[in-house]
Chains A and B, each alone.
Chain A
């Protein structure tokens, strides 16, 4: 089988699985689970085969023109290179893990067939985005992911939170997609083709007429999809979806799509220093802000969500300094450990019966009950905090190194100010990352207080998946940083390995963060002991994990007064953030700002339209209907049935006629 055919099968298999699963969901429930797992797993294997066969060779391109369009041709194109095949492997891995995990996590869910189908479709769309060589086809996958995320985030549509989160996710990403679409058209118009290779060639030749405009337009879409400031607000709220969905979205698919796109089109961006500056500023703000916010969150999944935003900021920063290899490297390692973190968080939530760190910090023995989650999450959090020798260390180190390189002005097209911005922000974020990772770990697993209620043994599917993902979390970075440059097609000398300055700085700062958080945790232990906040434990033993989570999310605001935070004086994050805590917990009130800036004007406009429709347009309509009605009523009034009235009118008319005739004569 040719490489091209294999690669084509990779997105096709999950798609067929999704179609079959959605079609057969009702009539043949027995086929649903195999249809969910097997195509995805097969797709993963095929992606691995494709990766192996593609290897470090030259990029493979294949195209088939379905139909001639009017002006700019649209091709069904395939583009395989080091980036795409590796990301495809990651997507396949995470998707397979998520599907397996979901078998246990959503074992009793009545809507499991549609859920699994949508996950498969999601995976297929992402794989399409990864493999495609044509922007238009990419756009198709891009939008399919958007709609799938809408459905998946709103999986528990019975709860208000999930409904609001799904709509928010959809609208915010669409907000970015509109300029993105325009950008794609502009790009296509400028380059005369939608083929990425052609565009890149055009960019290299300087044939793009409006690189800044195009880049900024594309950036809007990227910010929406990859949850970069200022369009990141949908991502924390998307935690209302089931945990596996979060893992899928955060680790490998949706948010990665934006980064991947910029990585693919990097020459377009480097053509415009302004775009790079904007990207850098965006990344810097995203990184620091999300780090602060993550430190204040109470919901374990929201902490992870903000950490995702932060790590995406790293990747964006790497792109801003023109090093897409670092960005993709971080994308790959982050995909592994973030998937692990989310899936582990699912286990924790199930075991604790709550998603609140505050509640977990008042529980004893959670770590003992779920040792798998304890160890894997500990490893992945360390990886997140970039402690050597875990994967996260190497990938983040490559980002820092690229930024440092750029700040020195050694990178072509990239202003040194951009490099400095990214470098400083990345270093500050390293401290914050260390701090919130430590806080999460300590609050979740080192809590003291009454014993955790028994929620039954964690399903084997879930724990196994954790250990499977732990492997790349630990080893990926260290094993591959020497090989990857070959895959990414760069010169071999220009490696991704750590250099002394940045690794010492990064690791040191991360360690500072860890220590400070630990000290704060210790310092607040007494307060936590003095203020026992009752753990709200949702479900009795043996309930389906997803139900526990759904209920925990749904009741969080009810119990703690807020979706994001809890009034816990013993929270080390509160101690560390001080007065910032409150605004950080609410994402620096960006939602409120949006509410004032967009939601209210839109609502006002809607009410204006409503007014125009109801009271202005409808007045004419009603008038058109009402006037004959009134006339009819008047005529009907004349129809009194009283003979004398009729006669009176008749005779009066006769008299009038007589007078007219008499006078006229």
Chain B
């Protein structure tokens, strides 16, 4: 796909006032995702935060599906919802997350954080809208995110990074094990 065709596609895109069904769905799911994400970072109940994170991640998986990135979507569900969140919950429970509100869930940096995040949001949205308000994604045609396509590109063009990543995973595995080991000698086996 050369830039010319992209521009050509962008030239005759429908307006924002006549959204397609996919767009409507995307926006609705996006709103839900955003809401869940906001709840994740604002709720005072720690475990609820993790559960809202599940919703947000799930919503993102749906967005991937809507963007025809099917494989990514399922990986998202598998890794994030199935493992990462479970790990997070696991960690929360190990650190004795209480039931109910934790009054000290937010630190004193809260208003600074609001300021920084708000400014960043305004800036980013402004820039992004300014840059891409007339850009159109053509979702028709060949599906972009089939496992075949993804696998092909991954193992044909991205093999070296992939292998490097496997080394990284191994290192992370070893690191996590080392970190989690009790350091007080080998006398206490488990």
19 A-B residue pairs with CB within 8 Å = A642-B109, A644-B107, A644-B113, A645-B109, A645-B112, A648-B109, A648-B113, A648-B116, A651-B116, A651-B120, A652-B116, A655-B116, A655-B119, A655-B120, A655-B123, A658-B123, A658-B124, A658-B127, A659-B123
- Quick one: closest B residue to A651, CB to CB? B116
Question: Given the complex, which residues of A lie within 8 Å of B124, measured CB to CB?
Answer: 658
Shortest C-beta distance, A640 to chain B (Å), equals 10
State whether B120 touches A648 (Cβ < 8 A).
Answer: no
Shortest C-beta distance, B64 to chain A (Å), equals 27
**Residue A662 interfacial (CB < 8 Å):** yes
- Residues 90-134 of chain B: 1 if any A CB is under 8 Å from the residue's CB, otherwise 0? 000000000000000001010011011001100110110000000
Q: Quick one: which of B107, B112, B113, B127 contacts A662, CB cutoff 8 A?
A: B127
Question: Given the complex, which residues of A lie within 8 Å of B116, measured CB to CB?
Answer: 648, 651-652, 655
Instruction: List 10 additional A-B contacts (Cβ < 8 Å) besides A644-B113, A655-B123.
Output: A642-B109, A644-B109, A648-B112, A651-B116, A652-B119, A655-B119, A655-B120, A658-B127, A659-B123, A662-B123
Shortest C-beta distance, A197 to chain B (Å), equals 93
- Quick one: closest B residue to A650, CB to CB? B116
- Residues 651-665 of chain A: 1 if any B CB is under 8 Å from the residue's CB, otherwise 0? 110110011001000
Bound together, the chains give a CA A648 to CA B115 distance in angstroms of 9
Shortest C-beta distance, A655 to chain B (Å), equals 5
Q: B58-98: which have CB < 8 Å to A?
A: none
A-side interface residues, number (CB < 8 Å): 11
Question: Given the complex, which residues of A lie within 8 Å of B109, measured CB to CB?
Answer: 642, 644-645, 648
Question: Given the complex, which residues of A lie within 8 Å of B115, measured CB to CB?
Answer: 652
Bound together, the chains give a CA A642 to CA B112 distance in angstroms of 13
Interface residues of B (CB under 8 A from A): 107, 109, 112-113, 115-116, 119-120, 123-124, 126-127
- Quick one: closest A residue to B124, CB to CB? A658
Interface residues of A (CB under 8 A from B): 642, 644-645, 648, 651-652, 654-655, 658-659, 662
Question: Given the complex, which residues of A lie within 8 Å of B113, measured CB to CB?
Answer: 644, 648
Bound together, the chains give a CA A654 to CA B123 distance in angstroms of 11
Bound together, the chains give a CA A644 to CA B111 distance in angstroms of 12
Central interface residue in B107, B116, B119, by most chain A CB within 10 Å? B116
The 7 closest A-B pairs by CB, nearest first: A644-B109, A652-B116, A655-B120, A655-B119, A648-B112, A651-B116, A658-B123
Question: Given the complex, which residues of B lie within 8 Å of A645, measured CB to CB?
Answer: 109, 112
Question: Given the complex, which residues of B lie within 8 Å of A644, measured CB to CB?
Answer: 107, 109, 113
Bound together, the chains give a CA A644 to CA B107 distance in angstroms of 9
Shortest C-beta distance, A283 to chain B (Å), equals 87
Bound together, the chains give a CA A68 to CA B107 distance in angstroms of 86
Main SS at interface, chain A: helix
Question: Given the complex, which residues of B lie within 8 Å of A655, measured CB to CB?
Answer: 116, 119-120, 123
Question: Given the complex, which residues of A lie within 8 Å of B119, measured CB to CB?
Answer: 652, 655, 659
Bound together, the chains give a CA A648 to CA B120 distance in angstroms of 11
Bound together, the chains give a CA A645 to CA B110 distance in angstroms of 10
Question: Given the complex, which residues of A lie within 8 Å of B127, measured CB to CB?
Answer: 658, 662
Question: Given the complex, which residues of B lie within 8 Å of A658, measured CB to CB?
Answer: 123-124, 127
Bound together, the chains give a CA A662 to CA B130 distance in angstroms of 10
Shortest C-beta distance, B114 to chain A (Å), equals 10
Shortest C-beta distance, A505 to chain B (Å), equals 103
Shortest C-beta distance, A464 to chain B (Å), equals 95
Bound together, the chains give a CA A584 to CA B82 distance in angstroms of 111
Question: Given the complex, which residues of A lie within 8 Å of B112, measured CB to CB?
Answer: 645, 648, 652
Shortest C-beta distance, B162 to chain A (Å), equals 30
Shortest C-beta distance, B128 to chain A (Å), equals 11
Shortest C-beta distance, B184 to chain A (Å), equals 27
Question: Given the complex, which residues of B lie within 8 Å of A648, measured CB to CB?
Answer: 109, 112-113, 116
Central interface residue in A648, A654, A655, by most chain B CB within 10 Å? A655
- Quick one: closest B residue to A665, CB to CB? B127
Shortest C-beta distance, A147 to chain B (Å), equals 70
Shortest C-beta distance, A662 to chain B (Å), equals 6
Shortest C-beta distance, A157 to chain B (Å), equals 65
- Quick one: closest A residue to B112, CB to CB? A648
Question: Given the complex, which residues of A lie within 8 Å of B123, measured CB to CB?
Answer: 655, 658-659, 662
- Quick one: closest A residue to B115, CB to CB? A652
Bound together, the chains give a CA A662 to CA B131 distance in angstroms of 11
- Quick one: closest A residue to B107, CB to CB? A644
Bound together, the chains give a CA A630 to CA B73 distance in angstroms of 55
Question: Given the complex, which residues of B lie within 8 Å of A662, measured CB to CB?
Answer: 123, 126-127
Bound together, the chains give a CA A662 to CA B119 distance in angstroms of 14
Shortest C-beta distance, A638 to chain B (Å), equals 13
- Quick one: closest A residue to B130, CB to CB? A662
- Quick one: closest B residue to A656, CB to CB? B119
Bound together, the chains give a CA A654 to CA B120 distance in angstroms of 9
- Quick one: closest A residue to B117, CB to CB? A651
Bound together, the chains give a CA A655 to CA B113 distance in angstroms of 13
Question: Given the complex, which residues of B lie within 8 Å of A651, measured CB to CB?
Answer: 116, 120
Bound together, the chains give a CA A652 to CA B118 distance in angstroms of 10
Bound together, the chains give a CA A659 to CA B121 distance in angstroms of 11
Bound together, the chains give a CA A652 to CA B109 distance in angstroms of 13
Shortest C-beta distance, A644 to chain B (Å), equals 5
- Quick one: closest A residue to B118, CB to CB? A655
- Quick one: closest B residue to A659, CB to CB? B123
Shortest C-beta distance, B118 to chain A (Å), equals 10
Bound together, the chains give a CA A648 to CA B118 distance in angstroms of 12
- Quick one: closest B residue to A658, CB to CB? B123
Bound together, the chains give a CA A645 to CA B115 distance in angstroms of 13
Bound together, the chains give a CA A644 to CA B108 distance in angstroms of 10
Shortest C-beta distance, A649 to chain B (Å), equals 9
Bound together, the chains give a CA A659 to CA B126 distance in angstroms of 10
Bound together, the chains give a CA A648 to CA B113 distance in angstroms of 7
Bound together, the chains give a CA A42 to CA B172 distance in angstroms of 103
Question: Given the complex, which residues of B lie within 8 Å of A654, measured CB to CB?
Answer: 120
Shortest C-beta distance, A76 to chain B (Å), equals 86
Bound together, the chains give a CA A642 to CA B113 distance in angstroms of 13
Shortest C-beta distance, A205 to chain B (Å), equals 96
Shortest C-beta distance, B124 to chain A (Å), equals 8
Bound together, the chains give a CA A645 to CA B113 distance in angstroms of 9
Bound together, the chains give a CA A642 to CA B107 distance in angstroms of 10
Bound together, the chains give a CA A642 to CA B119 distance in angstroms of 21
Bound together, the chains give a CA A536 to CA B116 distance in angstroms of 89
Bound together, the chains give a CA A654 to CA B119 distance in angstroms of 10
Bound together, the chains give a CA A452 to CA B119 distance in angstroms of 103
Bound together, the chains give a CA A652 to CA B113 distance in angstroms of 9
Shortest C-beta distance, B137 to chain A (Å), equals 24
Bound together, the chains give a CA A650 to CA B187 distance in angstroms of 45
Shortest C-beta distance, B18 to chain A (Å), equals 30
